[in-house]
Amino acid sequence: MKHIRNFSIIAHIDHGKSTLADRLIQYTGVVDARNFQDQILDNMDIERERGITIKSQAIALPYRAADGRDYTLNLIDTPGHVDFTYEVSRSLASCEGVLLLVDAAQGVQAQTLANLYLALENDLAIIPVINKIDLPSADIERVKAQIDSELGLDPETAILCSAKEGTGIESILEAVVRQIPPPVGDPESPLAALIFDAKYDAFRGTVIHCRLFAGTLKAGDVIRFHYNDATYRVEEVGRFRLQREKADALRAGDVGYIIAGVKTVSDVRTGDTITHEDRPCAAPLPGFKEIKPVVFASIYPIASDDYEDLAVSLEKYKLNDGSFVYEKDSSAALGQGFRCGFLGLLHLDVVQERLEREYDLSIILSVPSVRYRFIMKDGASGWVDNPMHYPDPLSIIKSEEPFIRAVMMLPDRYLGTVMKLCMEKRGVNSQMNYLSPGRVELTYEMPLAEVIYDFYDRFKSVTQGYGSFDYDLIDYRESNLVLLDILVNGEKVDALSQIVHRERARARGVQACDRLKDEIPRQMFKIAIQGAIGGEIISRSTISAFRKDVTAKCYGGDISRKRKLLEKQKKGKKRMKMIGNVSIPQSAFLAVLKSDTD
């Protein structure tokens, strides 16, 4: 155990976490340069394309240190987006230390700080690393000053590195060995293993990723999940190389996997404790939290014949994503579908993309919503996350919506515009804190519904990319809500309805009509788009009929070209939903929430 180190890399998005992970893997020779594919740990296409890690990954790096001894360094990669903060915290709970990566040009950002707090909560050793020192815009002294003043860490311990060019890698590995304590825990005690992730394997079922804090686990043992008391017989245990590597046993201090005939990933809860059925540990490991979706939207197949395919695909998808929930739903405008819950909008985007890409489905998502609480005249109260189930307004006594605490870090020259944005988003109780001359930490309490869609994009744009943002859900607060409906040629499209704050309703109605005008292509007749509250029309836009849509020439060689274009457009047509006699593109449903200032 003395020769094991369990660590994570934490960083603000784009500070180079995956690239550094790649260099560490390369340096320790787990994979030779020939077979090297950039960002090995991000093994989903979407992760690689977006440069965001969505799932946790683990890998054991063999390393002979300067002291001549051989070490196993377990690197646990963590998701890099605020939607997945809880997953990050559980991955960190599996470690004794972290590399806190800071971009030499951008310096400390909101997620750097949020991740630092998570590491401190878990009592981890923290090694600051300044990455991207090769950049012309790198300003190492400034970043060191921020590490001192904003993170409260000793800047002289910071390791300078360029993951891209491979400099500083050895110093980092040495620091991991020397500064991160080896795991402690008694292999003879009752088993206590922390689940930090789970993946689905088509042949083996769920593969549980875990960290053993006490005890020993081997194939044939019967284990019990603390959360639901479910028991399973262990088929295989092992450690992570690039692939899974079977082992005789996992012992206290180890990071590894368990295969135990668990059918779906959702049978496993990240953060739960695994122990032995016959000799359980006295108490579960601390910090378990059941994660709940915060953003909801319905998914419908564009062609109603595809409903069964969608049902099967969601079931398959769910096998691999324990935080995704769904149930049956139906819409007057869009037919049979499913109401789904997501951890955030990135999660929603990822699910949508994977359904389309991996399962070849054309789907429509309704306008995303948060979950509201209504207290009715008869004393009953209920949760509503679907505008279609908005209660009768006359019977509502009180409505409540979820609030978040948003923490933003930005150069103070953007303070004015950001505060204006936050006010526009109904932000309250602001606090401001100068971190260092010129840099401000700004805190606001805001309704989640206001932040959900385009807040982050607009924040990025008004701060020209220099601002960073992180948030926590705090509580539910009373709010004056109304249901905003959208009518297309007089027909209500329930999937476009939104629950909005009364004072913002008119502006949101105008915005929705304008966005739909941009998104819906001209058709053979005039289309009227209206926003309505109750029976009252509050906004309107009109799409005039198209006038000309024909190519002038069509002779010998033009015919194939023209046909190919039509074939392509036919595929695009599949992404349009007919509502009445109007075709509405898939993009329109998400666009209504976006303001036109971007």
Partner 1 sequence: MNSENLPGLYLHIPFCRGKCAYCGFYSRTDLSLIPDFLKSLRAEMTLYREAFSRIDTVYLGGGTPSILGASHLEVILDAVRRQFVIADDAEITVELNPGDLTARALRTLRALGVNRLTLGCQSFDDAVLAFLGRRHSAGQCRDAILAVRAAGFDDLGLDLIYGLPAPGGDPGTAFRGWLASLQTALSFQPEHLSCYQLTLEADTPLAATLALSPLSLPDDDLSARYFLTTSERLEAAGYRHYEVSNFACDDDHRARHNRKYWDHTPYLGLGPSAHSFDGTRRWWNPRDFDAWVGALRDGMRPIAGEEILTLDQLRLEALFLGLRTREGIDMEAYRKRYGFDLCAERGDKIAQLAAAGLVRADGYRFSPTRRGLVCADFLARFLS
Instruction: Please report, as ranges, the residues that interact with partner 1 according to CB under 8 A.
Output: 522, 524-525, 546-557, 559-560, 562-563, 566-567, 569-570, 573, 581
Q: How far is the CB of 330 from partner 1 (least distance, A)?
A: 24
Q: How far is the CB of 382 from partner 1 (least distance, A)?
A: 42
Q: If residue 299 lies in a helix (H) or strand (E), which one and from where to where?
A: strand 295-301
Question: In terms of CB distance, is 413 or 574 closer to partner 1?
Answer: 574
DSSP secondary structure letters along 199-268: EEETTTEEEEEEEEEESEEETT-EEEETTT--EEE--EEEEESSSEEEESEEETT-EEEEE-----GGGS
Q: How far is the CB of 562 from partner 1 (least distance, A)?
A: 7
Paired sense of beta strands 70-77 and 4-11, if any: parallel
Question: In terms of CB distance, is 468 or 541 closer to partner 1?
Answer: 541
Q: How far is the CB of 305 from partner 1 (least distance, A)?
A: 15
What sign does the CA torsion over 93, 370, 266, 288 have?
positive
CB atoms within 10 A of CB 262: 22
Question: In terms of CB distance, is 270 or 541 closer to partner 1?
Answer: 541
In three-state secondary structure terms, 438 is coil
Question: In terms of CB distance, is 398 or 571 closer to partner 1?
Answer: 571
The CA-atom distances, in angstroms, between 71 and each of 4, 232, 248 are 6, 32, 19
CB atoms within 10 A of CB 292: 12
Question: In terms of CB distance, is 203 or 555 closer to partner 1?
Answer: 555
Give yes or no for a contact between 260 and 305, defined as CB atoms under 8 angstroms apart. Answer: no
Rg (CA), the chain: 26
Question: In terms of CB distance, is 304 or 581 closer to partner 1?
Answer: 581
Question: In terms of CB distance, is 394 or 524 closer to partner 1?
Answer: 524
Cα gap 104→598, rounded to integer Å: 29
- Could you list the beta-strand ranges (E) of 78-165: 97-103, 125-131, 159-160
Cα gap 252→216, rounded to integer Å: 6
Question: In terms of CB distance, is 48 or 575 closer to partner 1?
Answer: 575
Q: How far is the CB of 566 from partner 1 (least distance, A)?
A: 6
Q: How far is the CB of 517 from partner 1 (least distance, A)?
A: 16
Question: In terms of CB distance, is 66 or 545 closer to partner 1?
Answer: 545
Cα gap 234→49, rounded to integer Å: 36
42 closest CA partner among 17, 61, 62, 63: 17
Q: How far is the CB of 301 from partner 1 (least distance, A)?
A: 20
Q: How far is the CB of 587 from partner 1 (least distance, A)?
A: 18
Q: How far is the CB of 486 from partner 1 (least distance, A)?
A: 23
Paired sense of beta strands 4-11 and 97-103, if any: parallel
Q: Please identify which residue in the block is written with the tokens 């190389």.
A: 241
Q: How far is the CB of 522 from partner 1 (least distance, A)?
A: 8
The CA-atom distances, in angstroms, between 481 and each of 298, 345, 398 are 21, 22, 9
State how far Cα 432 lies from the chain centre. Answer: 27
Q: How far is the CB of 526 from partner 1 (least distance, A)?
A: 11
Question: In terms of CB distance, is 34 or 570 closer to partner 1?
Answer: 570
Question: In terms of CB distance, is 34 or 547 closer to partner 1?
Answer: 547
Cα gap 96→126, rounded to integer Å: 9
473 pairs with which residues across the strands? Answer: 404
207 closest CA partner among 264, 166, 162, 126: 264
Question: In terms of CB distance, is 473 or 565 closer to partner 1?
Answer: 565
Q: How far is the CB of 527 from partner 1 (least distance, A)?
A: 13
Query: Which DSSP state fits 280?
Result: B
12 closest CA partner among 116, 98, 83: 116
Question: In terms of CB distance, is 229 or 549 closer to partner 1?
Answer: 549
Q: How far is the CB of 557 from partner 1 (least distance, A)?
A: 4
Paired sense of beta strands 335-342 and 325-331, if any: antiparallel
Question: In terms of CB distance, is 228 or 544 closer to partner 1?
Answer: 544
Give yes or no for a contact between 98 and 119, defined as CB atoms under 8 angstroms apart. Answer: yes
What sign does the CA torsion over 167, 411, 18, 79 have?
positive
The CA-atom distances, in angstroms, between 219 and each of 186, 222, 390, 494 are 19, 9, 51, 52
Give yes or no for a contact between 266 and 251, defined as CB atoms under 8 angstroms apart. Answer: no
Q: How far is the CB of 547 from partner 1 (least distance, A)?
A: 3
